[in-house]
């Protein structure tokens, strides 16, 4: 009798283990008719979780905020996200799972390789538009990646913006520029664009150093920089380390160049740490910072967070980026609904490409042109030691 | 062995599945698997394709490490070699039934090269030597832009056969599982040949094997070459499955993933490779789904529950190492034995 019970128990556990995950999946698949579904594979755990948590929050909060304002033409936005752990296998599986269960019209992914991996399926499905935190140039391609848009300028465009600013600010005194970048896509992607624009503007690149993303012996690289004696060092591909160590050792060597960076490398952890070292820090940002008050949309974010997430003290650019992607999703949906067209990829792509003067509520300082599936617009910010924050150092630069 | 199985001929002795019950179960399993695209959801199929690819790669590492006892930390990079070979040949218009064997053969040749240090060093020293191979290969993936596409990666043209394009998981599933099935049977047969027995002899004590007449040079290099061949084919399939790939996929943790799969599944067995690949793919997924569902019921602790999935996964692996070092295959064998003998012995 005991053996029969044991066998039944083993069978039950086996069945539960096999069917359990799918049962969970189906229980969540209770679609509300008429909702506009936004799916997401967000790296809430894993090496990219520092950004993933903010991105997940940003898109989730945009949907909630928008729904509190009546949704999109009376239709609610429904956000369905799962943790991808920043693993390609997992994020692609999540895409397929949510696509099958929820039939989302929009999807937010975690990385460049995710975009590349799902593109053929997304195009074949013909019913989904995607975005992600990636600013890689290969995914801002209306022909080969037609379903995707980048919520800002790509890395090459950001570096072109930097070079334009340098050329304009320094005038005839052409500064000596050194590049230090990580041997990753995040590090490398923008460099050729930046170098090409520097060459066009007559700006000399006197040193180019490629490092690993982490665990770097900085001393030999600093020795190279000492020999090159650059006026400006542009870091790319790092969130924080090894920039402070570079700066410290450069200071010990008697060098105090202008330090520059772009986008995610100028988030609060970086400017707080570098600011404490007394660095002359500036860089290209695609959005206004979360502490600025002259953007209506960022003010709305701040109000929403103060009311619903009082523990969040500052708005990260990752939060702004995914919120902005949500805004574009909503604008595309609104355009299709107004034109009485179904949310299919050709209609959504046409709607996106018609957004040539789109108002982002001040997240970008000018009307944004999304026709190229990116927004080639940015602004230079410089660290203000008195305010301990990044403050505007230029007008908005379009490239 | 189960009771009531008597071999009267050599042919009966040679069978892979030696009882009618085993054959029936195997047929049912194959049928369930091959009809999966008809009844499975897109998500199940995507996961099944990923498991199929990981199974082929795990089978390969189990030949090198499980059977022959040669530790390889370059297995993830071998997958990359296969993937980029398929991508490059595919762009030249070579059909998939040639690109996949070519990927396997090229990777096998590289595997032989990487296996050369195994003639002089073993254990942890060999692991370090293969680690160097991993870093060299991943460097090539990033830098050899005309072939690999460099850091941004490359696209892989879809496999085609007589005008039929393997696009979408339902079609790719058949491509992957026919090859996975063939790879599993080939591996099972390999273990029963003189080559398979030579691998085991080398694993147990290589100089004793040499005294018994096993040629160490050939055997060790063959173990590396065969393992790499499987990895190359798996890498090629990975390319066809995703349609695009970047070097970021072939990081060291991928090699560690396969090492963990053979340890958890069971060293030196086909079943161990399959169960290991299943465990390593599905358990994090199940834990993630459970954590995700729980976080919806308890939103206040969502931030804690999601990372806990990884902690539980790590604890499960440690638990296996401590309580069942022979892996899931041994547990499976015990469960089967208990059912076979029931009710006479429990």
List pLDDT tens digits, range B143-188. Answer: 898 999 888 888 898 888 877 878 778 888 999 999 999 999 999 9
Q: Is the pLDDT of residue A25 over 50?
A: no
Mutate which of B37, B39, B46 to test chain A, going by most A C-beta atoms within 10 A?
B46
The values of phi and psi at residue A205, to 5°, are -95, 110
Q: Are B50 and A93 in contact (CB under 8 A)?
A: yes
How many Å is the maximal CA-CA distance in chain A? 94
What ipTM goes with this model?
Answer: 0.76
Q: In the structure, what pLDDT confidence band is assigned to residue A11 with cuts at 50, 70 and 90?
A: very low
CATH number at residue A176: 3.40.50.2300
Q: Is A103 left (phi over 0), alpha (psi -120 to 50) or beta?
A: left
Residues of chain B with pLDDT under 70: 1-5, 299-306, 345-346
Check whether residue A148 and residue A159 sit in a common domain.
no
Residue A382: enclosing H or E segment and its boundaries? strand A377-384
Q: In the structure, what pLDDT confidence band is assigned to residue A215 with cuts at 50, 70 and 90?
A: confident
Nearest Cα residue to B87 out of B145, B143, B133, B168? B145
B319 CB within 8 Å of a chain A CB: no
What b/e sequence results for B67-104 when a residue is b if at least 16 CB atoms lie within 10 Å of its CB, and e otherwise? Answer: bbbbbbbbbbbbbbbbbbbbbbbbeeeeebeebbebbb
Residue A20 in domain: no
Which spans in chain B are helix H?
10-14, 20-34, 36-39, 42-61, 75-91, 96-115, 124-143, 145-148, 169-192, 194-204, 206-211, 216-242, 252-265, 270-297, 302-323, 327-341
Collapsed DSSP state (helix, strand, coil) of residue A235: strand
| pLDDT tens profile A374-396 | 999 999 999 999 999 999 999 99
Residue that the structure tokens 């394709």 belong to: B49
Nearest Cα residue to A386 out of A292, A278, A288? A278
Q: Is the pLDDT of residue A29 over 80?
A: no
Check whether residue A228 and residue A117 sit in a common domain.
no
Check whether residue A143 and residue A253 sit in a common domain.
no
Q: Which residues of A touch B289 (CB under 8 A)?
A: 20-21, 24-25
B291 CB within 8 Å of a chain A CB: yes
Check whether residue A42 and residue A173 sit in a common domain.
no
Average pLDDT, chain A: 89
Residue A10 in domain: no
Residue A373 in domain: no
Q: Are B52 and B176 in contact (CB under 8 A)?
A: yes
Check: pTM over 0.95? Answer yes or no.
no
Q: Which residues of A touch B165 (CB under 8 A)?
A: none
Residue A217 in domain: yes
| pLDDT value of residue A167 | 95
Q: Which residues of A touch B249 (CB under 8 A)?
A: 88, 113
Residue A362 in domain: yes
Q: Are A193 and A163 in contact (CB under 8 A)?
A: no
Q: Which residues of B touch A101 (CB under 8 A)?
A: 41, 43
| pLDDT value of residue B73 | 94
> How many angstroms from the chain centroid is the CA of residue B7?
32
The residues, any chain, with a CB within 8 Å of residue A371's CB and separated by 6 or more, are A352, A353, A354, A355, A356
Q: Is the pLDDT of residue A206 over 70?
A: yes
B339 CB within 8 Å of a chain A CB: yes
Residue A287's DSSP bridge partners are none
Residue A190 in domain: yes
Q: Residue B167 and residue A96: Cβ atoms within 8 Å?
A: no
> Mean pLDDT over residues A114-139, rounded?
93
Check whether residue A352 and residue A214 sit in a common domain.
no
Residue A18 in domain: no
Q: Indicate the number of domains in chain A.
A: 2
Check whether residue A387 and residue A240 sit in a common domain.
yes
In B, residues 33-72, which contact A (CB 8 Å cutoff)?
Answer: 41-47, 50
Check whether residue A253 and residue A384 sit in a common domain.
yes
Q: How far apart, in whole angstroms, are the C-alpha atoms of residue B174 and residue B154?
A: 24
Tokens of A213: 């993303």
| pLDDT value of residue B325 | 84
Q: Residue B248 and residue A7: Cβ atoms within 8 Å?
A: no
Mutate which of A93, A109, A115, A140 to test chain B, going by most B C-beta atoms within 10 A?
A93
Q: Are B196 and B190 in contact (CB under 8 A)?
A: yes
**Residue B65 DSSP symbol:** I
- Asked if residue A138 has a cis previous peptide bond (ω within 30° of 0), the answer is no
Nearest Cα residue to B264 out of B76, B56, B58? B58
Check whether residue A234 and residue A250 sit in a common domain.
yes
Residue B180's DSSP bridge partners are none
Check whether residue A82 and residue A139 sit in a common domain.
yes
Q: How far apart, in whole angstroms, are the C-alpha atoms of residue A13 and residue A9?
A: 6
Q: Which residue has the higher pLDDT, A212 or B295?
A: A212
Cα four-point dihedral sign B179, B180, B186, B189: negative
> Mean pLDDT over residues A75-88, rounded?
92
**Candidate from B152, B242, B289 with C-beta closest to A185:** B152
Check whether residue A97 and residue A43 sit in a common domain.
yes
Residue A299 in domain: yes
Check whether residue A160 and residue A209 sit in a common domain.
yes
- The range of the structural domain enclosing residue A228 comes to 155-285+380-398
| pLDDT value of residue A57 | 95
The values of phi and psi at residue A280, to 5°, are -85, 90
| pLDDT value of residue A147 | 97
Collapsed DSSP state (helix, strand, coil) of residue A108: strand
Check whether residue A208 and residue A236 sit in a common domain.
yes
Nearest CA of chain A to the CA of B79: how many Å?
14
């Amino acid at each position: 009798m005991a053996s029969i019970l044991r066998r039944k128990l083993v069978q039950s556990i086996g069945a539960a283990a096999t069917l359990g995950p799918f049962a969970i999946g189906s229980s969540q698949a209770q679609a509300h008719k008429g909702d506009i579904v936004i799916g997401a594979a967000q790296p809430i755990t894993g090496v990219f979780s520092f950004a993933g948590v903010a991105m997940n929050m940003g898109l989730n909060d945009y949907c909630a905020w928008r729904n509190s304002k009546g949704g999109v033409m009376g239709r609610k936005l429904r956000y369905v996200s799962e943790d991808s752990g920043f693993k390609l296998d997992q994020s692609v599986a999540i895409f397929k799972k949510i696509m099958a269960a929820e039939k989302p019209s929009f999807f937010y992914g975690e990385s460049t390789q995710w975009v590349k991996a799902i593109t053929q399926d997304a195009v074949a499905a013909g019913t989904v538009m995607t975005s992600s935190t990636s600013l890689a140039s290969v995914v801002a391609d209306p022909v080969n990646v037609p379903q995707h848009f980048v919520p800002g300028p790509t890395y090459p465009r950001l570096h072109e913006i930097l070079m334009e600013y340098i050329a304009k600010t320094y005038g005839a005194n052409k500064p000596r520029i050194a590049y230090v970048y990580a041997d990753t896509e995040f590090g490398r992607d923008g460099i050729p664009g930046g170098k090409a624009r520097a060459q066009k503007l007559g700006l000399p690149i006197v040193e180019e150093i490629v490092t690993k993303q982490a665990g770097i012996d900085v001393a030999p690289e600093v020795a190279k920089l000492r020999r090159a004696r650059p006026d400006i060092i542009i870091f790319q591909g790092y969130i924080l380390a090894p920039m402070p160590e570079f700066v410290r050792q450069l200071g010990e060597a008697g060098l105090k160049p202008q330090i520059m960076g772009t986008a995610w490398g100028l988030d609060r952890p970086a400017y707080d740490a570098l600011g404490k070292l007394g660095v002359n820090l500036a860089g290209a940002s695609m959005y206004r910072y979360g502490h600025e008050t002259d953007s209506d949309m960022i003010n709305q974010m701040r109000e929403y967070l103060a009311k619903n997430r009082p523990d969040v003290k500052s708005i990260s650019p990752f939060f702004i980026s995914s919120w902005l992607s949500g805004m574009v999703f909503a604008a595309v949906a609104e355009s299709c609904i107004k034109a009485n067209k179904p949310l299919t990829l050709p209609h959504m792509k046409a709607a996106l490409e018609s957004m040539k003067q789109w108002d982002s509520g001040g997240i970008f300082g000018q009307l944004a042109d999304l026709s190229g599936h990116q927004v080639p617009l940015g602004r230079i910010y410089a660290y203000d030691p008195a305010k301990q924050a990044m403050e505007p150092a230029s007008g908005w630069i379009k490239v | 062995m189960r009771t009531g199985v008597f071999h009267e001929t050599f042919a009966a002795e040679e069978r892979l599945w030696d009882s009618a019950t085993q054959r029936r179960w195997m047929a049912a399993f194959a049928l369930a698997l091959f009809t999966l695209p008809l009844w499975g959801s897109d998500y199940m199929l995507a996961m099944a394709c990923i498991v199929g690819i990981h199974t082929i790669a795990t089978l390969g590492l189990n030949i090198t490490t499980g059977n022959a006892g040669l530790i390889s930390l370059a297995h993830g990079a071998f997958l990359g070699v296969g993937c980029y070979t398929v991508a490059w040949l595919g762009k030249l218009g070579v059909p998939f039934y040639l690109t996949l064997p070519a990927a396997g053969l090229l990777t096998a040749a590289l595997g032989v090269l990487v296996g050369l240090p195994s003639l002089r060093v073993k254990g942890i020293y060999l692991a370090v030597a293969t680690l160097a191979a991993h870093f060299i290969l991943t460097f090539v993936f990033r830098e050899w832009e005309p072939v690999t596409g460099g850091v941004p990666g490359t696209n892989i043209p879809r496999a085609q056969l007589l005008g039929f394009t393997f696009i979408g998981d339902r079609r790719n599933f058949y491509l992957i599982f026919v090859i996975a099935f063939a790879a599993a049977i080939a591996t099972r047969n390999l273990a029963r040949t003189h080559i398979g027995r030579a691998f085991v002899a080398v694993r147990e004590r290589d100089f004793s094997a040499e005294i018994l007449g096993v040629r160490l040079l050939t055997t060790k290099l063959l173990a590396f070459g065969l393992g790499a061949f499987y990895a190359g084919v798996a890498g090629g399939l990975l390319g066809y499955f995703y349609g695009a790939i970047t070097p970021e996929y072939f990081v060291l943790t991928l090699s560690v993933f396969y090492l963990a799969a053979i340890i958890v599944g069971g060293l030196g067995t086909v079943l161990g490779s399959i169960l290991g690949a299943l465990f390593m793919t599905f358990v994090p997924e199940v834990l993630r789904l459970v954590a995700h569902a729980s976080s919806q019921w308890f939103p206040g602790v969502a931030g804690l529950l999601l990372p806990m999935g990884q902690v539980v996964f790590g604890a499960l692996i440690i638990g296996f190492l401590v309580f069942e070092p022979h892996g899931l295959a041994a547990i499976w064998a015990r469960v089967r034995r208990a059912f076979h003998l029931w009710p006479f012995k429990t």
